[in-house]
Amino acid sequence: EAGEDAVRLATAELPDTRSEAALPLRSRNQVLGAITVQSDQPGAFDQDTIVVLQTMADQVAVALDNARLFSESQAALEATRRAYGEFSREAWTELLRAQPDLCYRSSEHGVAKADVWRPEMERALQEKQPVRGTGDSDETEIPLAVPIKVRGNIIGVLDTCKPAQAGEWTAEEVTLLETLADQLGAALESARLYQDAQRRAARERFTREITDKMRRATNVEGIVQTVVDELFSMLGTSRAFVRLGASLPAQNGGNDGHK
């Protein structure tokens, strides 16, 4: 307030301070910090003024807390998006490694598998953007290659051509093909996810069937025999071993029991 306290309240930035109110910044039952209000009049902050200032301080605290929560949720969402994008990339890498000849060509004769890899397709794959060919005088077609993206990852290229007499590819045509490529990528990702779900369901069904049969067995030999039999019948394995024991066997050159 005034007198000797005024000397304590005054600062180099606010030398005329005669009254000061310190208010906690409260949000969700937590104190985030504090805010101070200065006045050049002694006794400027009565109880009614303090109530009003505290209400304002609470509103500031809620706004700051909401901004923090929004920032954290955005960061978590971005981390999830990156993680899923990485998972999707790995899944597509595995799929394309297992089926490297996923190339189809559409013409007036229909759709058929083909082995086509034009220079503009390679450029589109590397540059991650559409690549337009030029209408050279000796070319009868003008190519356009558009990358197919899934969650930011390139999984293929959409390549098309139009007659040279039709002119260069326009910006509107390129945009249209980009939209189609995006829709194609989304449809392919949905198909991949469906296949993954089907495979998971098959694995769960396989595990459940073996577990049910093991539970119906009445002894150790019956349980082991069930596992071996099911591995043969469901997975087509050529050999299966089950060995029980906590120590390594002696190296006597003999054969373990197996089917």
Report pTM.
0.53
The Cα–Cα gap between 5 and 34 comes to 20
In a structure prediction context, what are the per-residue pLDDT tens digits for the chain, which is 259 residues long?
A: 444 444 455 566 667 767 888 889 988 888 889 888 887 777 778 888 889 889 999 999 999 999 989 988 888 888 877 777 777 777 777 776 776 666 667 766 666 666 777 888 888 888 989 998 765 545 788 889 999 988 888 888 888 888 888 888 899 999 999 999 999 888 888 888 888 888 889 888 888 888 888 888 888 888 888 888 877 777 777 777 777 776 766 665 444 445 5
Residues 43 and 108 in one domain: no
Task: Confirm whether 255 is domain-assigned.
Answer: no
Residues 213 and 228 in one domain: yes
- Choose among 61, 59, 66: nearest CA to 33: 61
In the chain, how many domains are there?
Answer: 3
What range does the domain containing 11 cover?
A: 4-74
| Biggest alpha carbon–alpha carbon distance for the chain | 101
Distances (CA, A) of 131 to 10, 155, 176, 184: 68, 16, 14, 18
Residues 111 and 185 in one domain: yes
Residues 172 and 219 in one domain: no
Residues 175 and 206 in one domain: no
pLDDT the model gives residue 226: 83
pLDDT the model gives residue 178: 92
The Cα–Cα gap between 195 and 20 comes to 68
pLDDT the model gives residue 129: 92
Residues 205 and 179 in one domain: no
